[in-house]
């Protein structure tokens, strides 16, 4: 509830701010901002977004009429307050007191702040001023304009060079420095930090270099804290020597530093400080170097995977939680190898007994304790040709953990190992490698793991060594290097580091998977490490002379620090309740963007939003688009876009570029389930790609595209074939594919078409149709689907139902509403023929929707196109008392049928598919055969003249509205799909056989 209220307040603030910018442009002036801030102009950043993210924190002004520092000072507001936002929330539309009225006012709001930091004796002596001159006032009125320095520890010129926007601001450089950093080192307060001599000399997108030393202790290199956007990033020690610094003071040791920046997107505010006080030139805005992650390659064939849990000698409770998490979050094709290192706890034996005899699970028990390395080697031998994940028995795995590690391992050909993040202490721990940070109250560990997974930048930083608490070992490297050295390392430490160093020497690399957090249930500090840790380190340093130097990279590597920084930011957002509990992500796949399928898909995504996070994958043959879906479609966010090197063609229906791109997106955006609503214009390999990534796949059928690309199973004459090709000499035309050279379909290439789809279906976990009629046709053409198709009808939400109308007065024509986009297949030609037969004008057809080509004439009234929201009002305006669905093919559900019933119209439908099935099931209309148009016309005339039949049909419509119409809502449909999704996900897990 707190998160919701904060979001509402934030939303209201944004609305007010938008109103402010529209009506009071003088308070944010884009032209002024770009002119006053040349660094923003050079970066081509959006000026308003830059101000809202960085500018207000740096003391920049949004316009010449709004002085942020003056506004805050005169209202006694915290410097952590965005002045413009505060104005919008609390002051607007008043416009007084937003900027100083003159020089006296400029001096008045600054002087009490700067006076303690102006060294009057130094200032008067250096610039030849009389003793009675107020040094602080002189600096504010004159000195800052002449680049005078107020003390030996502050350079006005350098501060202006670092913050050129101050040249057009009223605040002096010294006031700006003090306003942003009240604990400035120039403060005379005895409790303030020691004064540093410092400067930033070089800045680029990759690093910042400069110098800093403490004049009071020049022999001790200073340790600097580096923060990015207000969150601690790393430490930098000014330990490099330079002759020009030593010439200042021969006692200086080191003095120079360089801090490497992480990759990122756009501008970031970087601050370098010691004990809270920024060095000279900081903070500053830096354009970070963009990062374009590439996780996996579908060209690399993967080995089978085995998880080795060892050595099992700890708490039975921790072991049970460990194994439960592995079974829940690991795919069923993975082998699980459990090595019991002669544990003495009888509860461990009882826990392991529950896994005996299960598929893909191997149990081994050592007769006597042999230690970590020998137990690992036993597990590696059992795994044989498989890739292996070593998992500590007190580790708690999370969503997609094993698939993530394998994806990372196959991101390049020379990856030997991948280590997961942990939340304990140590080199691979986040957010702090030196202490364990418990998660926020109200969060589960799985939520936290999923949050990191979904917000990761997929940096995959390189590491010199791996860690065996959760370590992926690629079989290619194991085959070349051999197992661990169990003879030299008898305890829990050293063996994996030794193997890592040997692999590095042989040309292999090691990665950290920053998407995968594995929880350590017992802190590493609680393990008895003293007897062997020091001994292992001694052996490692003697055997690998570069071990210590290489291991130091774990503390200074910018990508590793970027991973910790990213998690720290997430933790701050968790603590401030600015981030919601993450939900599993579902990828919905569509082809066309208009029509019934995209609409029903949007309904389903909306209905599932409280349980899943929906993403949408669209392809138009040439362009792939990945969209993050919001409740309001206008707020959908396009997160990925890719132009395929060649368009997908009908004949092969696939693309290597498509496959590589989709596999990468599935991994980087942490998709946990794929629901294919339509495969037209997509690669047919999509189900295989998802399955290989360990992602369950649901396939929906909304037409008969899989049976034949003609889509509706109508031959070239318009005759329904049901998938059995008709003997007419003409050739069927593929739907949805224009200007395509297709092989002969009828009785020939259609068999190859179905074979391709049958192969794709083999990689799907479940199938959904919306009617039994459609299911029967699909099963007849794909026998392997028999008994595997779930029927879930489309749910609809209607604001209200409209009661059935009375029959037309005697002698008046019967008004029949035919809605939808009418083509020949949808009944356009039938309406034309029926109207031509109706010489006595007993019928009047109302066409609501697009008609291809347009249809006019006696007995036909065209009402034009409509939107979904307009349907009821437009229908009621026609005075129709009966509806009609004249589709000549067996529709799989038919939204227009549902909509006609919602406005109280009984419906005439042809004896095809779901339309006929639904009318028969409800009695809310009539099913008529389509033998001859003359017969159809006669049947319709009989219907409209049968008062008793009309009354029964209207009563059935009312009954449908009270029952199915009221209950089969979008929420009800979403609940059915949720049950299917959970069933499929559970069936794909390693523990599904338990």
Structure tokens that stand for 671 in this block:
């998709």
pTM, 2 dp: 0.79
308 bridge partner residues? 337, 390
- CATH architecture of the domain with range 197-287: Sandwich (2.60)
- The structural domains of the chain, with segments of one domain joined by +, span 2-180, 197-287, 305-575, 585-791, 814-968
Distances (CA, A) of 526 to 296, 347, 468, 530, 939: 37, 21, 17, 11, 84
Question: Can you give the pLDDT at residue 447?
Answer: 96
Task: Give the model's pLDDT for residue 3.
Answer: 40
Residue 527: the pLDDT is 47
Confidence band of 192 (pLDDT split at 50, 70, 90)? very low
| Mean pLDDT calculated for residue range 824-840 | 92
- pLDDT confidence of residue 8: 46
CA-based nearest residue to 468, from 507, 423, 502, 422: 422
Q: What is residue 545's predicted lDDT score, i.e. its pLDDT?
A: 93
Could you tell me the pLDDT band of residue 357, with boundaries at 50, 70 and 90?
Answer: confident
Per the model's pLDDT, the better-predicted residue between 82 and 364 turns out to be: 364
Query: Which range, 51-60, 290-299, 775-784, has the best average confidence (pLDDT)?
Result: 775-784
> What is the C-alpha separation between 465 and 853, in angstroms, rounded?
69
DSSP code string of 922-947? H-SEEEE--S-HHHHHHHHHHHHH-H
Whose CA is closest to 706, among 764, 666, 662? 764
The residue among 967 and 119 whose pLDDT is bigger is 967
For residue range 222-233, list pLDDT tens digits in order: 999 999 998 999
What CATH number belongs to 585-791? 3.40.50
d(CA 788, CA 891): 20
What are all long-range contacts of 482-485, with beta carbons under 8 Å and residues at least 24 apart? 483/376, 483/377, 483/380, 483/381, 484/373, 484/376, 484/377, 484/380, 485/373
Q: Which of 505, 663, 611, 450 is nearest to 974 (CA)?
A: 611
- 585-791 against 814-968: fold identical: yes
Answer whether residue 10 shows pLDDT above 70.
no
What are the tokens at 882? 């009966």
Q: How confident is the model at residue 14 (pLDDT cuts 50, 70, 90)?
A: low
Residue 764's nearest CA partner among 846, 677, 822, 835 is 677
More confident residue, 900 or 742: 900
**Least confident residue range of 12-26, 758-772, 859-873, 948-962:** 12-26
- Cα atoms in the 13 Å half-sphere on the side-chain side of 931: 5
Q: Residue 977: what pLDDT?
A: 98
Q: Is 605's pLDDT higher than 90? A: yes
Q: Is the pLDDT of residue 529 over 50?
A: no
* Per-residue burial over 259-287, b = 16 or more CB atoms within 10 Å of its CB, e = otherwise: bbbbbbeebbbbbbbbeebbbbbbbbbbb
Per-residue pLDDT, averaged over 964-973, amounts to 96
Q: How far apart are CA 255 and CA 242, in angstroms?
A: 7
pLDDT in tens, 843-858: 999 999 999 888 888 8
CA distance linking residue 268 with residue 357, whole number of Å: 55
How many Å apart are CA 106 and CA 112, to the nearest integer? 12
Q: Does the structure show a pLDDT above 80 at 966?
A: yes
Distance, CA of 184 to CA of 700 (rounded, Å): 64
More confident residue, 299 or 239: 239
Taking the C-alpha atoms of residue 219 and residue 411, their distance in angstroms, rounded to an integer, is: 46
Distances (CA, A) of 186 to 124, 195, 932: 17, 6, 98
Q: For 645-664, what is each residue's pLDDT tens digit?
A: 999 999 999 999 999 999 99
CA dist., res. 151 & res. 114, Å (int): 11
pLDDT above 60: residue 185? no
Strand pairing category for 197-203 and 207-213: antiparallel
| Contact between residue 375 and residue 341 where contact means Cβ atoms under 8 Å apart | yes
pLDDT tens per residue, range 367-408: 998 989 999 999 999 999 999 999 999 999 999 999 999 999
Q: How many CB atoms lie within 10 A of CB 826?
A: 24
**Residue 4: is its pLDDT beyond 50?**
no
Does residue 759 have a pLDDT over 50?
yes
Would you place residue 596 in the very low, low, confident or very high pLDDT band (cuts 50, 70, 90)?
confident
- Distance separating alpha carbons of residues 464 and 512, to the nearest angstrom: 10
Banded model confidence at residue 191, pLDDT cuts 50, 70, 90:
very low
Tell me the mean pLDDT in the region 753-763: 97
First and final C-alpha spacing in the chain? 38
Q: What is the mean pLDDT of the chain?
A: 89
Collapsed DSSP state (helix, strand, coil) of residue 418: strand
Q: Which range has the worst mean pLDDT, 8-22, 267-281, 361-375, 808-822?
A: 8-22
Fold (topology level) of 814-968: Rossmann fold (3.40.50)
Question: What is the per-residue pLDDT across 673-698, written as a single tens digit (0 to 9) for each?
Answer: 999 999 999 999 999 999 988 999 99
Percent of the chain at pLDDT > 90 equals 60
Specify whether the CB–CB gap between 754 and 684 falls below 8 A.
no
Q: Count of alpha carbons within 13 Å of 257, Cβ hemisphere only?
A: 26
Domain covering 305-575 assigned CATH 3.90.550.10 in the classification? yes
Which H/E stretch holds residue 772? helix 772-781
**Residues of the chain with pLDDT > 70: what percent?**
93
Q: Flag the least confident range among 30-44, 612-626, 627-641.
A: 30-44
Band the pLDDT of 493: cuts 50, 70, 90.
confident
């Amino acid at each position: 509830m707190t998160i919701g209220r904060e979001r509402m307040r934030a939303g209201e603030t944004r609305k007010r701010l938008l109103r402010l910018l529209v009506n009071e442009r003088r308070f944010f002036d884009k032209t002024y901002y770009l002119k006053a801030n040349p660094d923003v102009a050079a970066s081509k950043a959006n000026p308003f977004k830059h101000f809202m993210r960085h500018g207000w924190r740096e003391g920049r002004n949004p316009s010449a009429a709004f002085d942020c520092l003056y506004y805050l000072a005169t209202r006694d507001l915290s410097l952590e307050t965005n002045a413009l936002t505060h104005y919008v929330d609390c002051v607007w539309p008043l416009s007084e007191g937003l900027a100083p009225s003159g020089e006296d006012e400029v001096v008045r709001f600054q002087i009490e702040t700067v006076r303690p930091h102006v060294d009057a004796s130094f200032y008067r002596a250096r610039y030849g001023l009389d003793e009675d001159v107020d040094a602080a006032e002189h600096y504010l009125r004159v000195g800052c304009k002449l680049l005078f320095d107020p003390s030996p520890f502050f350079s006005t010129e350098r501060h202006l060079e670092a913050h050129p926007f101050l040249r057009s601001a009223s605040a002096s450089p010294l006031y700006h420095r003090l306003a942003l950093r009240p604990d400035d080192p120039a403060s005379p307060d005895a409790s303030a930090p020691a004064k540093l001599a410092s400067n930033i000399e070089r800045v680029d997108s990759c690093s910042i270099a400069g110098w800093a030393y403490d004049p009071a202790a020049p022999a001790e290199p200073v340790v600097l804290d580096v923060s990015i956007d207000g969150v601690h990033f790393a430490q930098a020690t000014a330990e490099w020597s330079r002759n020009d610094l030593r010439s200042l003071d021969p006692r200086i040791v080191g003095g120079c530093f360089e801090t490497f920046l992480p990759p990122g997107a756009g501008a970031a505010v970087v601050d370098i400080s010691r004990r809270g006080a920024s060095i000279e030139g900081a903070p500053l805005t830096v354009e970070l170097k963009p990062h374009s992650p590439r996780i996996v390659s579908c060209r690399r064939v993967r080995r089978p995977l085995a998880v080795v849990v060892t050595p099992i000698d700890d708490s039975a409770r921790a072991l049970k939680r460990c194994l439960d998490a592995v079974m829940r979050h690991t795919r069923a094709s993975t082998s699980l190898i459990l090595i019991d290192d002669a544990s003495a706890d009888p509860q461990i034996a009882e826990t392991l007994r529950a896994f005996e005899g299960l598929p893909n699970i191997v149990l081994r028990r050592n007769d006597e304790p042999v230690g970590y390395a020998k137990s690992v080697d036993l597990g590696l031998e059992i795994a044989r040709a498989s890739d292996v994940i070593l998992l500590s028995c007190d580790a708690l795995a999370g969503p997609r953990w094993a698939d993530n590690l394998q994806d990372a391992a196959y991101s390049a050909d020379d990856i030997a190992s991948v280590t997961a993040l942990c939340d304990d202490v140590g080199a691979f721990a986040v957010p702090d490698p030196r202490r364990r940070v418990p998660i926020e109250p109200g969060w589960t560990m799985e939520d936290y793991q999923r949050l990191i997974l979904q917000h990761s930048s997929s940096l995959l930083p390189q590491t010199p060594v791996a860690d065996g608490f959760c370590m992926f070992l690629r079989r290619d490297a194991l085959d070349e290097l051999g197992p661990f050295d169990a003879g030299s390392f008898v305890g829990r430490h050293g063996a994996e580091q030794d193997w890592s160093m040997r692999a590095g020497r042989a040309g292999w690399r090691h990665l950290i998977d920053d998407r995968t957090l594995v929880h350590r249930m017992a802190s590493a500090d609680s393990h008895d490490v003293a007897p062997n840790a020091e001994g292992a380190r001694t052996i490692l340093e003697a055997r690998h002379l570069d071990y210590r130097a290489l291991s130091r990279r774990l503390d200074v590597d910018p990508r590793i620090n970027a991973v910790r920084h990213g998690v720290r930011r997430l933790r701050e957002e968790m603590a401030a309740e600015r981030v919601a509990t993450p939900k599993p992500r579902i990828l919905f796949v569509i082809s066309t963007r208009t029509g019934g399928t995209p609409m029903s898909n949007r309904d389903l995504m909306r209905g599932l939003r409280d349980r899943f996070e929906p993403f949408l994958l669209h392809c138009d043959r040439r362009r792939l688009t990945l969209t993050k879906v919001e409740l309001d479609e206008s707020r959908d966010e396009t997160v990925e876009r890719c132009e395929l090197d060649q368009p997908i063609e009908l004949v092969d229906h696939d693309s290597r570029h498509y496959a590589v791109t989709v596999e990468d997106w599935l991994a980087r955006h942490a998709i946990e389930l794929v629901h294919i609503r339509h495969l037209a214009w997509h690669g047919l390999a999509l189900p295989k790609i998802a399955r290989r990534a360990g992602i369950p796949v649901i396939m929906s059928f909304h037409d008969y595209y899989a049976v034949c690309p003609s889509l509706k199973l109508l031959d070239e004459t318009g005759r329904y074939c049901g998938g059995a090709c008709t003997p007419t000499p003409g050739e069927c035309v593929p739907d949805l594919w224009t200007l395509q050279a297709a092989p002969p379909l009828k009785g020939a290439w259609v068999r190859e078409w179905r074979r391709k789809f049958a192969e794709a279906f083999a990689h799907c976990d479940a199938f959904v149709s919306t009617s039994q009629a459609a299911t029967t046709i699909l099963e007849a053409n794909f026998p392997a689907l028999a008994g595997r198709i779930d029927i879930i009808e489309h749910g609809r939400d209607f604001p209200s139902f409209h009661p059935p109308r009375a029959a037309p007065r005697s002698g008046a024509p019967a008004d029949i509403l035919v809605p939808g986009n009418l083509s020949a297949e949808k009944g356009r030609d039938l309406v034309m023929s029926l109207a031509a037969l109706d010489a006595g004008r007993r019928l009047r057809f109302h066409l609501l929707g697009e008609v291809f080509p347009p249809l006019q004439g006696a007995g036909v009234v065209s009402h034009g196109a409509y939107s979904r929201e307009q349907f009821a009002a437009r229908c009621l305006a026609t005075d129709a008392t009966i509806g009609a669905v004249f589709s000549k093919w067996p529709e799989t559900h038919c939204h227009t049928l549902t909509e006609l019933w919602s406005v109280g119209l009984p419906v005439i439908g042809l004896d095809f598919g779901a339309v006929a099935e639904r009318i028969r099931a409800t009695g809310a209309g009539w099913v008529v055969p389509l033998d001859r148009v003359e017969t159809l016309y006669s049947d319709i005339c009989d219907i409209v003249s049968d008062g008793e039949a009309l009354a029964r049909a209207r009563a059935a419509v009312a009954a449908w509205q009270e029952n199915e119409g009221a209950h089969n809502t979008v929420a009800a449909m979403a609940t059915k799909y949720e049950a299917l999704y959970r069933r499929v996900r559970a069936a794909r897990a390693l523990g599904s056989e338990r």
